Amino acid sequence: MERLSVGQLAAGTVEGYSSEGLGIVRIGGAVVFVPRAVRGETVKLRITKVMKTCYAGEIVEIQKPSPERREPDCPVFGQCGGCVYRHLSYAEELRAKRQKVQDALTRIGGLDLAVEEILGAEHPLHYRNKAQYPVGVDGTVGFYRQRSHQVIPAEECRICHPAAGRCAGAVRAWMKKYGVAPYDERTGKGLVRHVYVRTNRKGESLCCVVLNGKSAPREPELAAMILAAAPQTVGIVLNSNPRRTNVVLGEKYRTLWGQDFLMDELCGLSFKLSVPAFYQVNREQAEALYAKAVEFAGLTGTETVLDLYCGAGTITLTMAKRAGRAIGAEIVPQAVENARENAARNGAKNVEFFCGDASDVAVKLERDGLRPDVICVDPPRKGLAPEVIASAVGMSPRRIVYVSCDPATLARDLKRFGELGYRAVRAAAADLFPGTCHVESVALLVPALETVPAP
């Protein structure tokens, strides 16, 4: 393999994309990762970093551009760490994301399983119904630069709902007008840490200001400025997080104005959402993803479904419409409370929820002799703990539906399931995060000796 050095110039063709959305160029056998590159392009690049097994580079000249390249539509693209694909056509972005899932299944999972399709978004702009704006030590409200905690001003985000940006801008203006200090993570001093905003299908907002303390000066003025900037705000909440941590939300909440929840509709159901409750950030694409999960579950109306990591009960209630009984488990108490209220509000009498860690709940239900026909899991990015996989297999379900936000941990877990007698037979991807490198996927597992008809 050719050895390269920082500052060295070289030329090559972009072969594809890394899992983080970087272009891959091979030079004399050496792999160089290049931001804002497009598959098929011939580029002249400069080496910017030497690592143990690969290199980082930057484009000096595009010698042969790709027809899939487009002009980025965001002024802070390349600075903000959120989007990595604003320089691609949407068709190319979808191709890259489908390939990301396929590569993970093949290389990490060792699976001979094709990703059947990727469900693309009809509306790839302003789709995020939740935005978390960190506050910089200089009072800047925006998003982190990639791989840093430097805050880039980005209130007018191309993927967040505009109301979220207006709320964030109001908090920034309030801080500046009244001299309210931003939080400094290096010293633990200062007050305002984050602005957290949920929005619903109607355009209504729930705004949460995260404080390094229990209260803020000029609280009535804060509420007034948020309401003036975003009149459809239905609630303003203060969250207290005094810990020296990167976790955004603390444990205590206080309603400053209005209500401490937001109502929304998903899959024909009505949901009550508190600030910490899990809820997919792209409503329209979540409906497409959940429809695929229901398809994979193969429900006929008589089955018992166990939904682990159920959040506010979105998948549980969606499955319950097609099943005989649905059981949800979630570790966040507020989310479980929301889930139970959501079940009652939607008249779902065949649903029940447990509060607890998925590992503990799965073990308990297995010991209690629960034998669900279908188990659905939608874990966080870290995937499933080995004991959750073992307990799920121990319940001997007819089908396991795995919804994932990380193809790498999905592939790892599918391999573990395979070692315990369950094989993956179908997989699909869904683009819930246009512009970013993230992609959701869903897989179907069945007992190793069972056959499943082709789609």
Catalytic residue numbers read 405
d(Cα 316, Cα 175) in Å, to the nearest integer?
Answer: 41
- Give the β-pairing of 374-377 and 325-330: unpaired
| 385 Cβ contact list (under 8 Å, min separation 6) | 358, 359
Parallel/antiparallel/unpaired status of strands 55-64 and 30-34: parallel
For residue 23, what are its two tokens? Answer: 């272009």
In whole angstroms, give the CA distance from residue 197 to residue 237.
Answer: 10
Lookup: tokens for 453: 């008809």
Residue 384 contacts residue 413 (beta carbons within 8 Å): yes
Contacts of 173 (CB under 8 A, 6+ apart): 225, 229
Contact 362, 329 (CB under 8 A): yes
Rounded to an integer, what distance in angstroms lies between the CA atom of residue 131 and that of residue 166? 11
Is 70 in contact with 87 (CB distance < 8 Å)? yes
Q: How many whole angstroms separate alpha carbon 348 and alpha carbon 343?
A: 5
Q: How many CB atoms lie within 10 A of CB 97?
A: 28
| Local structure of 67: helix, strand or coil | coil
How far apart, in whole angstroms, are the C-alpha atoms of residue 194 and residue 243? 13
Rounded Cα distance between 112 and 102, Å, is 10
What the block records as the tokens of 266 is 């998903």
Beta partners for residue 92, in sequence order? none
Cα–Cα distance, 35 to 320 (Å, whole number): 44
C-alpha–C-alpha distance, residues 52 and 381, integer Å: 26
Nearest 5°: phi and psi at 409? Answer: -75, -30
Q: Give how far the C-alpha of residue 50 lies from the chain's centroid of Cα atoms, to the nearest Å.
A: 31
Q: Which residue type occupies 214?
A: K
| φ/ψ (deg, to 5) at 141 | -115, 120
